[in-house]
Amino acid sequence: MSRIALAVVTVVLLAAIPGYLSDYSLGLMIGLVTYVTLASAWALFSGHTRYVSLATVAFYGSGAYTVAVLNESLPYPLVLLCAGLIGFLLALIVGLSTLRLAGIYFVIFSFGLAELIRQLITWYEVNVTGTLGRYIFLDVTARGIYWQMLALAVFTIGLSAWIGRHRLGLALKVIGDDEMVAAHSGIDLSRTKLIAFTLSSTIITLAGAIASPRWTYVEPSLVFNPTVSFLTVIMALLGGANRLWGPLMGAVPLFLLFEWLSVSFPDTYPVILGLMFIAVVFLFPQGLLSSAEAFRNRLKGGTA
């Protein structure tokens, strides 16, 4: 009970913050909460199943681009609804066609997906609509974006907690450990993976839609930037993607670090990012926290 109370107080405090922040700090907070949402939503599917998805920006970008296309013709709540729906359908199609792929093939496909969608949209805009680049004119304030993103983050972590206590959570864990055993225990592999992937991807799409007014000017190469996918994976894995609070624990420090790096070392930043990705995937696939705990246990075991 006290944990829930603590969470409620924290959320209320976070919701009250914008009034005390400069524009720059508020922008930083929006980015921070966005990555908490992305990393938590990513972990909802990939954390337990261990299917490393690099498709984050495919959905995030689709959300943003949907807003860019629809913002002048529909009221904002309907635009968000459409973005969510598009994310849902896209996830369903992608999930049905790829979730049978094993490990590395899934990683490669998920990475290619963002590029595929970017190229398709570019082709369509150039050849059919004749406009490459769109403007987002919405009277959504920075505070409005912050509050919406905060709500989405809370929803995502709440949903993860709920899943963790239900059948779906257990099924995902079993799939992550051994798909053969999962199937022989009566778990419908495709359905379980599809549900988790669709939930995760729809949330990521909504995050893209909510964040999009920050851009004002949108074009495919801007919103389908693969860095978003890599950052999300690094944050979630480093914090511990199979723990409820792991993605958040990874996202907060790493977002600030990357923000600082990208300003201080704009040229070497991509290289640093790549090296970190490799290091995290190979050295700490279970997360820094778990690795530290295992190390501590081993030390304890050794001295006992």
Partner 1 sequence: MTMLHVTRARKSFGGLVAVNDVSFDVAGGEILGLLGPNGSGKTTLLNLISGALAPTAGRFVLNGQDMTGQRADIIARQGIARTFQLVRILPSLTLLENVMVPAAFGPARLWGEAVVSVAREALEQVGLSDRLSATAGDLTYLDQKRLELARALAARPRLLLLDEWLAGLNPTELRDGIALIQSLSTTGITIIMVEHIMEAVRALCPRCLVMNSGTLIADGPTQAVLSDRHVIAAYLGEVEHA
Q: Which residues bind partner 1 (CB under 8 A)?
A: 167, 170-171, 173-174, 176-178, 180-189
- For residue 217, the one-letter residue type is Y
Q: Whose Cβ is closer to partner 1: residue 174's or residue 211's?
A: 174
Separation of alpha carbons 231 and 133, rounded Å: 25
Q: Whose Cβ is closer to partner 1: residue 257's or residue 294's?
A: 294
Q: Whose Cβ is closer to partner 1: residue 63's or residue 95's?
A: 95
Contact assessment for residue 149 and residue 211, using Cβ atoms and an 8 Å cutoff: yes
Q: Whose Cβ is closer to partner 1: residue 225's or residue 290's?
A: 290
Quote the least distance from Cβ 170 to partner 1, whole Å.
6
Quote the least distance from Cβ 184 to partner 1, whole Å.
5
Quote the least distance from Cβ 248 to partner 1, whole Å.
21
Q: Whose Cβ is closer to partner 1: residue 3's or residue 184's?
A: 184
Separation of alpha carbons 238 and 230, rounded Å: 12
- Per-residue three-class SS string for the chain: CHHHHHHHHHHHHHHHHHHHCCHHHHHHHHHHHHHHHHHHHHHHHHHHHCCCCCCHHHHHHHHHHHHHHHCCCCCHHHHHHHHHHHHHHHHHHHHHHHCCCCHHHHHHHHHHHHHHHHHHHHHHHHHHHCCCCEECCCCCCHHHHHHHHHHHHHHHHHHHHHHHCCHHHHHHHHHHHCHHHHHHCCCCHHHHHHHHHHHHHHHHHHHHHHHHHHCCEECHHHHCCCHHHHHHHHHHHHHCCCCCCHHHHHHHHHHHHHHHHHHHCCCCHHHHHHHHHHHHHHHCCCCHHHHHHHHHHHHHHHHC
Output the six-digit token pair for 57.
């920006």
Quote the least distance from Cβ 173 to partner 1, whole Å.
6
Quote the least distance from Cβ 295 to partner 1, whole Å.
16
Residue with tokens 């930037």: 225
Quote the least distance from Cβ 88 to partner 1, whole Å.
25
Separation of alpha carbons 250 and 239, rounded Å: 4
- Residue 134: beta bridge partners? 218
Quote the least distance from Cβ 258 to partner 1, whole Å.
29
Q: Whose Cβ is closer to partner 1: residue 132's or residue 298's?
A: 298
Quote the least distance from Cβ 163 to partner 1, whole Å.
14
Quote the least distance from Cβ 182 to partner 1, whole Å.
8
Q: Whose Cβ is closer to partner 1: residue 185's or residue 268's?
A: 185
Q: Whose Cβ is closer to partner 1: residue 5's or residue 180's?
A: 180
Q: Whose Cβ is closer to partner 1: residue 263's or residue 300's?
A: 300
